[in-house]
């Protein structure tokens, strides 16, 4: 990596004149005194600031014109971190930890102070030594991607990897995953691996390991405790319940979404309490029914990405819907208003889609509540045009379920039946 990555113009000249490079530990005197590590900069930033990582883990930009003095405190040499092999304790349950990337699978580069991907899943395990007292962890890197780069083909890869352990002696499987699209992945795994004999838990972190407020370790510990102490089937997401470190929430993988960009308690179960709450070494069970409608494990690891999620809004141009129809899509999930409505400007295009045999499902933009398309005339009109109301299924979950259903079933009537069947708790009472 360049000694001055991201710096140019005045800021680059300033660093060179003071014989300072990225990764150097410095003390900077302005109106107040700062101490920290010089960080690389975003390539398209201005040339009037330098970036310092403070000891608290947070970054601060300092305007060079306000710097009275900068001095190097010490030179931090880049060293290779040694990962200690964690000894296994006889009698503890076994858990498989699969790493797919994301903030939870990141660490601090001690030369630059930057957050970089963890090289191995073993490092993720060894970075939280408390895990070794709860379970014997086997770790494996499957992917190394931020969650926005996780695509449907990666869902297939994750599902097929997990399927290999159907008859293993693992008590459960943890999937370390970025948070932004985690509920898409958990939804697919819920359908593709319905009835899997051991729990599958997706876990992430909102804040990276270099920050004092990182939630990575506690979320991993919570996921491990959940698997070892409940031994329940299903696919779940385990994250902080709120901003405190006292409570970890375990959400059903098809009834959860990320509702905040940065809070540690960003994930919420929609329309209910989390399935389990872990607090003060106690696990409270809130779910009253089994996760799966069937206890049989019959994996169906296929999908078809020719499904669109259409969010209706006033002014939506039906020509956009026409393009979807003409592009060979096999399913359209509408995110309608209120009880499940779209404007009549869409009716002709919806009729065309129905006549082409495209599956049409309706969800609501409302965070909570059920689609009820028989209440108003507009809803009844849409029912007559072939739209299927999907109860209180979350729009993103409906999208994933439609991809999975169309990928595994060919008959249009069977697709409708499966879409309305409660397979993995995607529909709640």
Q: Is the pLDDT of residue 209 over 90?
A: no
Q: Is the pLDDT of residue 120 over 60?
A: no
Q: Is 103 a catalytic residue?
A: yes
When the pLDDT of each residue in the chain is averaged and rounded to a whole number, the result is: 89
- 342, 382 Cβ separation under 8 angstroms: yes
pLDDT value at position 358? 97
What three-state secondary structure class fits 420? helix
Q: Is 180 a catalytic residue?
A: yes
> Of the listed 180, 215, 233, 330, which one is catalytic?
180
Residue 142 has φ and ψ, to the nearest 5°, of: -105, -45
For each of the domains in the chain, give its residue range(s) and CATH number, in order of start: 9-74 (2.30.30.520), 94-285 (3.40.50.1170), 307-420 (3.40.50.40)
> Of the listed 53, 258, 330, 401, which one is catalytic?
258
CA distance 362 to 130: 45
**What's the chain's Rg over C-alpha atoms?**
25
Q: Look at 63-67, 120-124, 144-148 and tell me which has the smallest mean pLDDT.
A: 120-124
Tokens of 119: 């090289």
Q: Is 374 a catalytic residue?
A: no
Tokens of 369: 């509540």
Q: Is 179 a catalytic residue?
A: yes
Q: Which of 316, 320, 271, 193 is nearest to 429 (CA)?
A: 271
Q: Which of 345, 391, 349 is nearest to 366 (CA)?
A: 391
> Of the listed 179, 181, 254, 269, which one is catalytic?
179
Higher-confidence residue: 79 or 344?
344
- Determine the straight-line distance between the first and last CA of the chain, rounded to whole angstroms: 54
Residue 59 has φ and ψ, to the nearest 5°, of: -95, 150
- 362, 373 Cβ separation under 8 angstroms: yes
Higher-confidence residue: 123 or 230?
230
Which band of pLDDT confidence, cut at 50, 70 and 90, is reported for residue 80? very low
């Amino acid at each position: 990596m360049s000694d001055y990555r991201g710096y140019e113009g005045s800021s680059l000249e300033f660093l060179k004149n003071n014989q300072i490079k990225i990764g150097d530990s410095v003390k900077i005197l302005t109106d107040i005194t700062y101490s920290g590590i010089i960080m690389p900069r975003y390539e398209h930033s201005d040339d009037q600031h330098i970036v310092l990582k403070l000891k608290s883990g947070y970054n601060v930009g300092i305007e060079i014109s306000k710097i009275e003095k900068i001095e190097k405190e010490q030179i931090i040499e880049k060293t290779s971190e040694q990962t200690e092999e964690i000894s296994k304790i006889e009698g503890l349950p076994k858990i498989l930890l699969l790493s797919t990337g994301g903030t939870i699978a990141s660490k601090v580069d001690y030369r630059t102070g930057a957050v970089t991907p963890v090289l191995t899943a073993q490092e993720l395990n060894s970075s939280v030594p408390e895990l070794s007292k709860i379970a014997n962890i086997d770790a494996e890197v499957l992917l190394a991607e931020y969650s926005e780069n996780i695509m449907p083909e990666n869902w297939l890869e994750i599902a097929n990897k997990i399927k290999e352990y159907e008859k293993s002696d693992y008590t459960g499987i943890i999937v370390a995953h970025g948070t932004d699209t985690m509920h898409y992945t958990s939804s697919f795994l819920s359908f593709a691996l319905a009835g899997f004999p051991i729990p599958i838990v997706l876990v992430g972190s909102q804040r990276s390991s270099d920050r004092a407020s990182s939630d990575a370790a506690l979320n991993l510990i919570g996921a491990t405790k959940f698997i070892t102490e409940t031994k329940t089937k299903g696919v779940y997401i385990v994250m902080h319940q709120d901003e405190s470190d006292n409570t970890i929430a375990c959400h059903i993988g098809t009834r959860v979404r990320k509702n905040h960009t940065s809070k540690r308690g960003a994930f919420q179960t929609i329309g209910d309490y989390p399935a389990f709450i872990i607090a003060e070494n106690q696990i409270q069970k809130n779910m009253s029914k089994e996760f799966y409608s069937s206890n049989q494990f019959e994996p169906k690891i296929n999908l078809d990405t020719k499904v669109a999620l259409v969010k209706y809004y006033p002014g939506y141009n039906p020509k956009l819907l026409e393009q979807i129809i003409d592009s060979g899509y096999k399913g359209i999930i509408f995110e309608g208003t209120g009880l499940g409505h779209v404007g009549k400007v869409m009716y002709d295009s919806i009729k065309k889609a129905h006549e082409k045999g495209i599956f049409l499902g309706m969800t609501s933009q409302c965070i909570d509540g059920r689609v009820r398309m028989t209440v108003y005339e507009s809803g009844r009109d849409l029912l007559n045009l072939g739209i299927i109301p999907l109860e209180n299924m979350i729009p993103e979950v409906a999208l994933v379920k439609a991809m999975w259903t169309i990928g595994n079933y060919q008959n249009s009537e069977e697709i409708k039946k499966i879409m309305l069947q409660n397979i993995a708790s995607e529909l709640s009472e």
